[in-house]
Structure 1
Amino acid sequence: MLSWQRATAKFYDRTEGHGRRETRVVKALTIDGPGFPHAAQAARITRHRTADKTGKQTRETVYVITDLTSRQGVTAENR
């Protein structure tokens, strides 16, 4: 199990549009455990949405695992 409390990279974003308000929380971890032999990083993305008209609230969590290091990920993003 990954310890998300140890996450060193954290990102928060709030947006409004398309009839809803959305908050995204991204946490990233460097992986060095036996459970993920070829992985370098893991990220957890949690989205909180509220519909403006109905007030309905939803929450979605997505997990990402990659073999790219943080340096490689930034380099690939800037191409």
Structure 2
Amino acid sequence: MTARRYDREQGHGRRETLATRVLTVAGLDLDLPHVVQAARILRYRVDTASGKCTRETVYAITDLASAEATCSRSGSS
């Protein structure tokens, strides 16, 4: 199962777009025996004053199922 989400925000002198993709990887015979989900977060930022664009990619894995892996569980706010 794959889930995708796009979020756009503006503030603090920048525009930001987050593209999140989460994939259930349990049962794929990976070398990581406890991993259940993998996520990729692409973060695009544009500084509104200078026009400078930056791009950052973050990868994450978890042993939590999709029903358990919430923002509050990960410690994010």
TM-score scaled by structure 2?
0.82
Report 1:20-35 matches (<5 A): 20-31=14-25, 32-33=27-28, 34-35=30-31
1:11 and 2:5 are equivalent in the alignment: yes
- Provide the rounded CA distance (Å) in 1 between the counterparts of 2:47 and 2:69: 33
Q: Residues 2-60 of structure 1, C-alpha deviation per residue, up to 9 Å, x if partnerless?
A: xxxxx620000000000000000000000132232110001000100000011000000
Structure 1 segments unaligned to the other structure (5+ residues):
1-6
| Structure 1 counterpart SS, 2:69 | helix
| Structure 2 counterpart SS, 1:72 | coil
Normalized per residue, which structure has more helix? 1
May I ask how many residue pairs the two structures share in their alignment? 70
| Structure 1 counterpart SS, 2:67 | helix
Partner of 1:42: 38
Partner of 1:61: 57
Structure 2 segments unaligned to the other structure (5+ residues):
none
TM-score scaled by structure 1?
0.81
- Provide the rounded CA distance (Å) in 1 between the counterparts of 2:31 and 2:6: 28
